Amino acid sequence: MSVLELKEIYKIFGSGHGHIALKNINLGLDKGEFLAIMGSSGSGKTTLMNVASTVMKASSGKVFINGLDTEHLTEEELAILRREKIGFVFQDFRLIDNLNVKENIILPLVFNGLKVDEIHNKLNKIKDILNLEEIIKKKSIYELSGGQKQKIAIARAIIHEPVILFADEPTGKLDSNLANNIMNLLQEINKNLHMSIIMVTHNSLSASFCDRVLFLRDGEIYNEIYNGEEKINFHKRILDVVAFLGGNTYDL
């Protein structure tokens, strides 16, 4: 079953002929699938994430989340859908500095109106899954390293058990070691919790953790490749497409 389905999506910015940021995108994300989106700067990756997560309305085309047609939902209904079914992770973590580590993590549960003991249970569960025992003791966000901040941001993004996790360049601000740690974590979340993940990345090694890589070029799907048995081989195949698109891995 698809947890996300995009049908003939177009996104045009500006008036008149405008700028076509997305052109006839057809895409399905299976339950439990881990999908990477690659493509050069300006190719439409973030726009695709915004439209797919209902943060931004498409100019035309349809977005189904968990089988639900989102087209005629009101802004309020969309906000509830996002709060309950979707998690977001960003390159710049977007933690709230004047809340402590625990408060940052439980924020979605507070917004969803859960009772204190339910919040407690879910926090304990996420603490075990992500091994947060030590980090969670730290009071302030300022005491965390970049990798730790992203770990907390991921905890916050999944604590309400969303159907889909959207991650826009989650390893973009981390060095390669930390990026690998975060990718291992996302892979565990994907495999153990069967959470569907859609992730934008410029990093071919990060993309090689995924089940499938989709390449955008000028707002269109240019190519997609599937992960087979061997991870090293998959990484090489990703690099081949990246080279063909005319970039090295870090300027894609």
Which residues lie near Mg ion (CB under 5 A)?
45-46
Ramachandran category for residue 221: left, alpha or beta (phi over 0 → left; psi -120 to 50 → alpha) = beta
Which string of b and e fits 219-249 if b means at least 16 CB within 10 Å? bebbeebebeeeeeebbebbbebbeebeeeb
Give yes or no for residue 39 binding ligand ATP (CB under 6 A): yes
Q: Which residue of this chain has its Cβ atom nearest to Mg ion in the complex?
A: 46
CB of 48 to ligand ATP, least distance (A): 7
Stretch near ligand ATP under the rule CB under 6 A, chosen from 36-44, 63-71, 131-139, 151-159 = 36-44
Can you name the residues that pair with 88 across neighbouring β-strands?
A: 166
Give yes or no for residue 248 binding ligand ATP (CB under 6 A): no
Which among 146, 147, 143 is positioned nearest to 130, based on CA atoms? 147
**Residue 45 or residue 102: which is nearer to ligand ATP going by CB?**
45
CB within 8 A of 191, min separation 6: which ones? none
CA distances for 171 relative to 15, 108, 178, angstroms:
35, 22, 8
CB of 118 to ligand ATP, least distance (A): 36
CB of 64 to ligand ATP, least distance (A): 21
Give yes or no for residue 43 binding ligand ATP (CB under 6 A): yes
Whole-number Å distance between alpha carbons of 84 and 184: 25
Which residue from 13, 111, 226, 244 is in contact with ligand ATP, where contact means CB under 6 A? 13
**Residue 43 or residue 204: which is nearer to ligand ATP going by CB?**
43
Which residue from 24, 46, 181, 223 is in contact with ligand ATP, where contact means CB under 6 A? 46
Which residue from 8, 26, 42, 248 is in contact with ligand ATP, where contact means CB under 6 A? 42
Whole-number Å distance between alpha carbons of 160 and 157: 7
Give yes or no for residue 246 binding ligand ATP (CB under 6 A): no
Stretch near ligand ATP under the rule CB under 6 A, chosen from 40-48, 103-111, 128-136, 150-158 = 40-48
Give yes or no for residue 44 binding ligand ATP (CB under 6 A): yes
Give yes or no for residue 47 binding ligand ATP (CB under 6 A): yes
Whole-number Å distance between alpha carbons of 4 and 64: 6
